[in-house]
Amino acid sequence: MKVLVTGGCGYIGSHTVVDLLNEDYEVVIVDNLSNSKIEVIDKIKKITGKEVTFYQYDLCDKEKVEIVFARENPDAVIHFAGLKAVGESVQKPLLYYENNLISTLNLLEIMQKYKARKFVFSSSATVYGKPASLPIDETFPLSPTNPYGTTKLMIENILADLYQSDNSFDITILRYFNPIGAHKSGLLGEDPNGIPNNLMPYIVKVATKELPVLNVFGNDYDTVDGTGVRDYIHVCDLSYGHVLALKNKRVGLKIYNLGTGMGTSVLELVNMFEKVNNIKIDRQFVARREGDIDACYASNAKAKEELNFECKYNLEDMCLDSYNYVKNNINQ
């Protein structure tokens, strides 16, 4: 089976490409490298010993998308490509709507033309907004609180309408919780430019002394220790969820949460990072970050039941692997 992976040079996409190659899928990547580096292609080859076909194209260019389908005729598409920074999406909403929506519309239109039917989409727990209770299951009401989240919900709605109009499509929507960690090889991982928005990349930059101190946003939440609780999932468990989605024999429009089902507070994560890496992370409490919620964690019962999804890695692995990746790549 030939799989087109959009955004395959990015954080989650690159790990998924490794899994796909290890399972003998043929892989074609389209990525405009707006948030990733070309070196990832060589690293994927180094890890797997296998080749991938790569197109440095922007999916917002429909003619380019068509060139890929005409040449490659993929059987399935896993669509990771998109912009993902919540804060930036508030500053630049039009950029987010344009990039995330146009790229997806182009893909779906060309898939329809070339009769490619299997589509796996990267959605996010952010579509749930502030949940009324926990854990969050797939039937919870959806109410994103920022333009980035709204693009995810809009795409979910587009997919539902498309499926309604043409039920030969086979669509899986995966709602990710908080991916962290990195590939065990130390070759693939997440190392954002500038000051990170997300917790684990920030902790790692304090560990490498690129940043002096971790700001913990709020210590008065209604949680175990007052700090925000999230469902952190190792990127390698998350990536394998995409292979399971391709293997799933159920056809139709399906939605799954991908999380561990376990909530971890900011302090619990920082303390675990210190312990397993034997390093001190200076931290200070500051005001809550606007728009943050107390706690968010998944019910992953549906993914377990229907996809045989399971999490093999624990919080210790996540902390070790995140730091290991950045230590290996610090001067690149």
Active site residues: 148
Q: Does 176 bind ligand NAD (CB under 6 A)?
A: yes
Q: What is the DSSP-derived secondary structure letter of residue 16?
A: H
Nearest by Cα to 77 from 152, 133, 25, 130: 25
Which amino acid is located at 253 in the chain? L
- Nearest-angstrom CA–CA distance, 6 and 140: 28
Q: Which is nearer to ligand NAD, 198 or 219 (CB)?
A: 198
Helix axes 11-22, 39-48, angle to 10 degrees: 30
Measured from the CB atom, the residue of 27 and 180 that comes closer to ligand UFG is 180
Give how far Cα 132 sits from Cα of 136, 142, 260, Å. Answer: 9, 11, 19
Q: Contact region for ligand UFG (CB under 6 A) — 68-76, 212-220, 240-248, 250-258?
A: 212-220
Letter string b/e over residues 164-199, b meaning 16 or more CB atoms within 10 A of that residue's CB: eeeeebbbbbbbbbbbbbbbeebbbbbbeeeebebb
**Chosen from ligand NAD, ligand UFG, none, partner binding at 129 (C-beta under 5 to 8 Å by type):** none
Q: Which of 117, 184, 289, 304 binds ligand UFG (CB under 6 A)?
A: 289
Residue 81 touches which of ligand UFG, ligand NAD, none (Cβ within 5-8 Å per kind): ligand NAD
β-partners of residue 2 are 26
Regarding 91 and contact with ligand NAD (CB under 6 A), the answer is no
Q: Which of 104, 122, 123, 124 binds ligand UFG (CB under 6 A)?
A: 124
> 70-89 mask for ligand NAD (x: CB under 6 A)?
----------xxxxx-----
**61 burial type by CB count under 10 A (0-12 exposed, 13-18 middle, 19+ buried):** middle
Q: Name which position in 118, 230, 242, 254 contacts ligand UFG (CB under 6 A).
A: 230
Q: Please identify which residue in 3, 4, 5, 13 interacts with ligand NAD, judged by CB under 6 A.
A: 13
151: phi then psi, degrees, rounded to nearest 5 = -60, -35
* Alpha carbons 107 and 103: distance in angstroms, whole number: 6
The stretch among 57-65, 69-77, 119-127, 304-312 that binds ligand UFG (CB under 6 A) is 119-127
Instruction: Give the C-alpha distances (Å, rounded to integers) separating 50 from 8, 29, 85.
Output: 15, 13, 32
CB of 106 to ligand NAD, least distance (A): 9
Under rule CB under 6 A, residue 124 binds ligand NAD: yes
Contact 190, 326 (CB under 8 A): no
34's contact among ligand NAD, ligand UFG, none, with CB below 5 to 8 A by partner kind, is ligand NAD
322 is a site residue for ligand NAD (CB under 6 A): no
Q: Measured from the CB atom, is 265 or 324 closer to ligand UFG?
A: 265
By beta-carbon proximity to ligand UFG, the closer residue of 7 and 74 is 7
Restricted to residues 171-210, the positions that interact with ligand UFG (CB under 6 A) are: 176-178, 197-199, 202
Which of 22, 292, 306, 328 is close enough to bind ligand UFG by CB under 6 A?
292
Least separation, in Å, of the C-beta of 84 and ligand NAD? 4
Q: How many Å apart are CA 2 and CA 26, to the nearest integer?
A: 5
Q: Which of ligand UFG, ligand NAD, none does residue 215 bind (CB under 5 to 8 Å by kind)?
A: ligand UFG
User: Cα–Cα distance between 20 and 10 in angstroms, integer?
Assistant: 15
